[in-house]
Amino acid sequence: MILRLYAAAASLAPPILRRMLRRRAASGKEIPSRLPEREGISPLPRPAGRLIWVHAASVGETMSVLPVLHALAGQAEILLTTGTLTSAILAQSRLPAGARHQFVTLDVPAWVERFLTHWRPDAAVFLESELWPNLLRGCDRHNIPRLLLNARMSASSARNWRLAPRAAQTLLGGFSSILAQSAEDAARFRALGGQVREWGNLKFVCAPLPADATALAILSAQLPGPAWLAASTHAGEEPICAAVHAALLARFPRLITIIAPRHPGRGGEIAALCGHAPRRALGQKPEPGKIYIADTLGELGLFFRVTPFAFIGNSLVGFGGHNIIEPALLARPVLAGPHLENFTEAAALLRDAGMLRQVTDTAGLADAVASWLAAPPDGMAAAACFNGVSQLPQRVAGLIMALLP
């Protein structure tokens, strides 16, 4: 009943969704020429041969599944769908040769049907918590086997699912396998009727973020004094980082604080907040004693390399944290707020190794930054935390290939 009501409501939503998409396009969050993809309309033909459709919501999920896509390359055609502009830009540069990217259709039954009829995937792979009812039921109607990778479910989501056990069984029980991120996630999916495997977390085996060698040499030369990085920050965290910078200038007068916001489009707003700080997107250089706004796409690996440690955002404002594994893979210790619910297992590994320090406020972050600027920990222990699951992408690729006819 709940799924039928949801489908009925979604069928009435297109006028509202189209207005929403136009507003997003006007604000730079969608590509106007590609809005038809959100309605299941594709300008690309369906390639001949077996096709694997992989859906990843945004940048984090896309990064985690890229090693799997490269392991699949040459064995089948690949279609990757994502839901954000930043993930689409990432896909353009990181997908294996021949793989295609589309924006995912919104969860309207008619649009889902149009998408599936056009692409006719032989298998569907969803990442983490992308459990859109009409997309999943559409796969079942078309007899498309489906797999859930790196699955995660919070305690609150599990409680909500338990209120609708039949819907949970229909949607979760329809996956041929659910590969859970952690033991806690596995237990929650099993309790709801899922066929669960515990093979490890794909985010642990992401390739280290790349960096252009020339850009790295130039930026390194532009950072003569102490520097630290606040990466993937959200609104509310930049003022804290600015306050930390101000508090530490007396001790480190040439300090450069690099702020790399999660959404680079906020660069101008953050620069104004930080006393008209120089911005990388405008070609400006870092200046000793000032904050530097790293508001470009695809350069986070560069900034991790030029700083001895990193604070990872979305953790002080309380939304679950961003990827603390990315700096660790580059041998960089991690600072974070108390909210790392999206990375509990990785946080435990880094904490046990002394490579993660969590803080709760401005004073705590200032103390931690000052301590690590004075004596940076040896980050090799951070990289060592994630050395044990290097074959996981190939193993997952084999499981996906086994779904194909």
Considering the domain architecture, whether residues 166 and 270 belong to the same structural domain is answered as: no
pTM higher than 0.85, yes or no?
Answer: no
Q: How far apart are CA 73 and CA 75, in angstroms?
A: 6
Considering the domain architecture, whether residues 184 and 261 belong to the same structural domain is answered as: no
- Mean per-residue pLDDT pooled into runs of 10, the chain (405 residues): 91 96 94 96 95 94 92 96 92 91 97 98 95 96 97 90 90 94 91 90 83 96 94 97 98 98 96 97 97 95 97 92 93 96 90 96 98 94 82 93 93
The 10 Å Cβ neighbour count of residue 168 is 21
Residue 207 within any structural domain of the chain: no
Structure tokens at 300: 């986070």
Residue 280 within any structural domain of the chain: yes
Residue 106 is predicted with a pLDDT of 97
Select from 313, 328, 308 the least CA-distant residue to 374: 308
Considering the domain architecture, whether residues 376 and 396 belong to the same structural domain is answered as: no
Residue 18 within any structural domain of the chain: no
Structure tokens at 85: 């502009």
What is the CATH number for 153?
A: 3.40.50.11720
Neighbour-count burial for 91-125, b at 16+ CB within 10 Å, e otherwise: beebbeeebbbbbbbbbbbebbbbbbeebebbbbb
Residue 118 within any structural domain of the chain: yes
Contact 290, 278 (CB under 8 A): yes
Q: What is the DSSP string of 225-292?
A: S-EEEEEEE-TTTHHHHHHHHHHHTTT-TT-EEEEEESSGGGHHHHHHHTTS--BGGGTPPP-TTSEE
Considering the domain architecture, whether residues 142 and 32 belong to the same structural domain is answered as: yes
Contact 10, 134 (CB under 8 A): yes
Considering the domain architecture, whether residues 289 and 395 belong to the same structural domain is answered as: no
Residue 47 is predicted with a pLDDT of 96
Residue 220 within any structural domain of the chain: yes
The separation between the first and the last C-alpha atoms of the chain, rounded to the nearest angstrom, is: 32
Q: Which residues contact 142 (CB under 8 A, 6 or more apart)?
A: 116, 120
Residue 379: exposed, middle, or buried by beta-carbon count in 10 A (0-12, 13-18, 19+)?
Answer: buried
Residue 189 within any structural domain of the chain: yes
Considering the domain architecture, whether residues 196 and 284 belong to the same structural domain is answered as: no
Neighbour-count burial for 228-258, b at 16+ CB within 10 Å, e otherwise: bbbbbbbeebbebbbebbbbbeeebeebbbb
Residue 281 is predicted with a pLDDT of 97
Considering the domain architecture, whether residues 192 and 225 belong to the same structural domain is answered as: no
Contact 55, 149 (CB under 8 A): no
Q: Using only the alpha carbons of the chain, give its radius of gyration.
A: 22
Q: Which residues contact 123 (CB under 8 A, 6 or more apart)?
A: 52, 53, 144, 145, 146, 147, 400, 403, 404
Question: What residue numbers bound the domain in which 136 lies?
Answer: 2-13+23-201+390-401
Does residue 320 sit in helix, strand or coil?
A: coil
Size of the chain in residues: 405
Handedness of CA 175, 181, 182, 184 (dihedral sign): negative
Cite the active site residues.
Answer: 61
Residue 90 is predicted with a pLDDT of 86
Residue 394 within any structural domain of the chain: yes
Considering the domain architecture, whether residues 73 and 147 belong to the same structural domain is answered as: yes
What is the CATH number for 364?
A: 3.40.50.2000
Considering the domain architecture, whether residues 248 and 303 belong to the same structural domain is answered as: yes
Alpha carbon separation from 42 to 82, 83, 150, 260, 359 (Å, rounded)? 14, 15, 28, 34, 46
* Number of domains, the chain: 2
Considering the domain architecture, whether residues 138 and 220 belong to the same structural domain is answered as: no
Cα atoms found within 13 Å of the Cα of residue 124, Cβ hemisphere only: 26
Select from 132, 129, 127, 128 the least CA-distant residue to 115: 132
Q: Which amino acid is present at 342?
A: N
- The answer for 297, left when phi > 0, alpha when psi is -120 to 50, beta otherwise, is beta
Considering the domain architecture, whether residues 332 and 185 belong to the same structural domain is answered as: no
Considering the domain architecture, whether residues 395 and 373 belong to the same structural domain is answered as: no
Residue 388 is predicted with a pLDDT of 65
Residue 143 within any structural domain of the chain: yes
